[in-house]
Structure 1
């Protein structure tokens, strides 16, 4: 892979530009599907709140099932091949939804299977992408590269979810899912241009898979800063997922609003994510990385308590403002938190570190979706919305109470030799 440690601009690295455009296509398709798939269940299959919650839970359950071993597997494989294969699988799975609908054979069971298997492919794509990035751009450009990627995710939220709502309204939800499939296919084709000078796969490892997984868990949970980052991000995802799971039901059934209005509400959150990501680097340069992370949590996270006030007229705007501010906090935290954890991790552990984070973060999405469905069935949509918003509002506390809040600069990158030293102290074989 290309690596440029002398420049602080990732845009000078051709492979980064290629990865960025491929990710843009993939993110656009994912966000259209984010709106379209639950609306297929609600509008085409008359799904209940519990069934919508189960659908959302299955979309992230894969991270609980294979998230940790996926990190060890990704550390053994060429990352480009992992990304391409994941996109092709997601394209094939998503195209089956409109095909089944056209044949009048679409069922909730089909949707459940598609979102579960798509989630498995996403496990490998996410872990592989975050593990590839530091190797492509080098340490000097890492924060800029992460800011660009988080900004891309935000723009994709705006464009993809806004377009998703419009496509559902104009063409029906199943047809909108076809766009998701085509976007993943285009991403896979673009990724074929990455890694012309990619390093060969590492030599076979003598360490057992279980020991490698444990090594990644120790690296994250045994470090006070990494542990705090993981806990804050986990609480954030839990709260966000509870809220997002019930929003389609709230908008379409209880408030009588259109799918386009739901897409615009989610797109507004994407705008907040973009603003937070773009502000992260200049704020960190002025205030320090850790202090910026902590202060944005204190100042912005409580705005989530405005979201349950959603209703007709001005209350919809108030809830939208709360959502935008909450997402701005997440955008800043994503840039700073991801950069910090990448710099604190040797290359040989990147896959397992990212998999451990994704296991916790996306596991929280699965738990949040299931919890939202259960609370929605037992206590109603309003109570569920309050529960998710309270969790989101308090999500900054682990970072605030940890050493992260005092960190001024990013640490020096850890060498791979640190892993060998740790393995020696614990009596395990180091990765080959």
Structure 2
């Protein structure tokens, strides 16, 4: 059988070590392999063969069995220790069969070649042995590559999960910060609206928003709806910005018919002012309807009963409760208990019965609860403390919104404000975060 020729490029990649104590055998093997393109190394004994293995990497070893000093079995066993991946072949005669078995066991040779050999058989044996080694090497390489890639993939997945978690936390914090900035801006705007009314109702919108929020929670509204109700409470008087100064200074009971006609346009004006802001469109609907009455005698649309938006019914109760105490409807300011009685007496007339019932429960509970936090002076402020409620200056301007976290810079500014105005600020705070 004729061996299939090995291409020079393939053969050049392999190095063969031939070990024999007979020079003519080495010469024969060299002449056999070199034309095939193999790199051939020769050694005239086991010791010299081991020196070659220590010096360079070989792919295949052919060793004679009978050699002085170190025979083929001993040499191949030692060669296996030094280069275990090299293919090992043994040249042996029939008389050496017992020693050959020892070599197979000790050196784990791939095959033995009987003397005298057939050149084509030897070439075919060598080529097949090297091909198997190449396939095994490729298999090992691919397994190592797969293992490395799997490890890298696991690492990337772990890293990706951490990055996703970190990014999610960043986005959550950014969203929360945007939300807080948005609410703070609304509170500031609400404060500016009250300044337009001359400061006679300082804190009215914030109080309305607070009561309305409590009612919305009590009535089981969803968080987004609760926020819309609170925003509507803060901005329910935005339509008054365009009213004449003299009208803003009058209680409703002192207005003429024409003045009432102008006054009753402010809910519609308030809705129109906010309709361009997507986040405030639902609040704008509540603002338009917060002067409607359950019996249909309200304005601007004369809605009645369940046709009035739920949030508007809530704002109506919260607004009138504070307005009665602030003197917005008559010169005489009602006491809190009198305002509660007025709301209760108008259940099912001016106000939604369900909202009034929730209002009475909230008022009954809140009368027994002290405001969150405690009041301290600026000298006792520490970084990390949280405002328990809005901080308002002596002129009615909101300086900082509730839930604002104080830092050293803000504390210093508050102390400087006290010194410049000659006043003492009393600030309601909760403990520092994490305390």
Length-normalised TM-score, structure 1: 0.27
Larger Rg: 2
**Structure richer in helix, relative to its length:** 1
**Structure richer in strand, relative to its length:** 2
Larger relative contact order (C-alpha < 8 A, sep ≥ 6)? 1
